[in-house]
Homo-oligomer: A and B are copies of this chain.
């Protein structure tokens, strides 16, 4: 293994000088820099990032926590994070967590001195980790229960949901159901339900309680939850003419149920999802949805990590995207 020492010897300088040129910090004469670079090339030197991490007490791994690995929405964010992260030599790692194992995952991440933890999942971690995370200066997003501290990305779902309700009212659809997917506890952290309740009132849509269907996502896969929720909605036999879903996967599952039952979409029932996953454009009918700028979210996270940004809220505009699944 060729190390900094070899490079230093070959270049006729000290290891400190080698460090100076590789890190780009500190003064190095042009002459020394050239010699070092030549030596690096000649020796085919590859730095050992682990050693570097040890001295800095921090690695270059960013952990992204999600509750559902199969949700394409997260992948779109990850994709953006990865491309942006590559610019800063950051490695992005995805972790699936559930209520039970999030603490185990956290322990692992701390042991590995990840440089940041972006919690996209619905679960908060145990309070006992907070002080450790702070001591180690691990940059966290959405780790603490109330998410005080670092960057907060606020998905302003209300905007998109408001547009949808307005749109439906104009089309004469007044019975919009909501498939919340989550159970009654988790749903409290989800703005969407509330935005739906506010908007349906605002635009004079039906306020029947039975139009809201809860379920047990993420314990159960999103597609299955959507399918089952649509079924339960039908069984309640409360009239409805359109369905808003917590995310696109749930919407796809719901659409499947409606289509199996012979409902015509959108004539009999409009279906609207949330997150604007690519796939939504390729189903039939194509899925109406709410775009939440996944690209921008991913980039914002990386920038915040790199700059170690303090408390700041980035507002994401949720935009209604009508497609074939809506009248």
Contact = CB atoms under 8 A, between A and B. Distances in A.
Nearest to A109: B91
B252 A46 contact: no
Contact of A49 (B51, B69, B104, B113): B113
A284 B284 contact: yes
Contacts of A91: 61, 93, 108, 112
Interface residues of A, number: 61
Nearest to A227: B282
A126 interface: no
Interface stretch (A70-78, A163-171, A206-214): A70-78
A279 B223 contact: yes
A268 interface: no
A203 interface: no
A69 B79 contact: yes
Given A49-B111, A86-B101, A223-B281, 10 more contacts: A46-B111, A50-B50, A69-B75, A70-B75, A82-B95, A92-B93, A93-B93, A259-B284, A283-B283, A284-B284
A85 to B, nearest CB: 10
Contact of A78 (B46, B69, B255): B69
A79 B50 contact: no
A237 interface: no
Copies in the complex: 2
Contacts of A50: 50, 53-54, 57, 59, 112-113
Nearest to A324: B260
A306 interface: no
12 contacts: A49-B113, A50-B59, A59-B112, A69-B79, A69-B82, A89-B108, A92-B94, A223-B278, A223-B282, A226-B282, A283-B284, A284-B284
Contacts of A252: 279, 282-283
Contacts of A279: 223, 249, 252, 279
Contacts of A135: 1
A198 B96 CA distance: 41
A253 interface: yes
Contact of A136 (B1, B79, B96, B249): B1
Contact of A61 (B47, B83, B93): B93
A93 B135 CA distance: 25
Interface in A252-283: 252-253, 255-256, 259-260, 278-279, 281-283
Interface string A22-60: 000000000000000000000010111111011001011
Interface in A275-308: 278-279, 281-284, 286
Contacts of A82: 69, 94-96
Residue in A223, A226, A286 whose Cβ sees the most chain B Cβ within 10 Å:
A223
A30 B269 CA distance: 68
Given A69-B75, A91-B108, A252-B283, A132 B223 contact: no
Contacts of A53: 50
